[in-house]
Amino acid sequence: MAHLRLPFDGDRLRDRRERRGLSQTKLAALVGASPSRISQLEAGEKPTPALLLRLVAALDVEIDDLLTPPPVDQPSERAKQKAS
């Protein structure tokens, strides 16, 4: 399976999960993954695009809520493309 090249943020996943009052086990059941997979994601592993979409739906958040924004001193990929 292909994994994201986007800057997925496991800390944000943990934060959003905890805000919803969900355990790793409950979130895993909601998205069709194992609790250990949720733990791996929160530790920094990247999800597949399909799993990311299921996480977004289960947590009722936007995709951007689970991604790390680009550093302020570095332009985004989109800005780099426009400059080219």
pLDDT by residue for the chain (84 residues), tens only, comes to 555 566 888 999 999 999 999 999 999 999 999 999 999 999 989 999 999 999 999 999 999 889 876 566 655 555 556 666
64's tokens = 């951007």
CATH of domain 1-62: 1.10.260.40
With contact defined as beta carbons under 8 Å apart, do 47 and 4 qualify?
Answer: yes
Distances (CA, A) of 72 to 15, 17, 47, 75, 77: 22, 26, 25, 7, 13
- What is the reported pTM? 0.76
What is the structure's pLDDT at 10?
A: 92
What is the structure's pLDDT at 70?
A: 57
Distances (CA, A) of 58 to 49, 71, 80, 83: 14, 28, 33, 37
Beta pairing partners, 48? none
What is the structure's pLDDT at 17?
A: 95
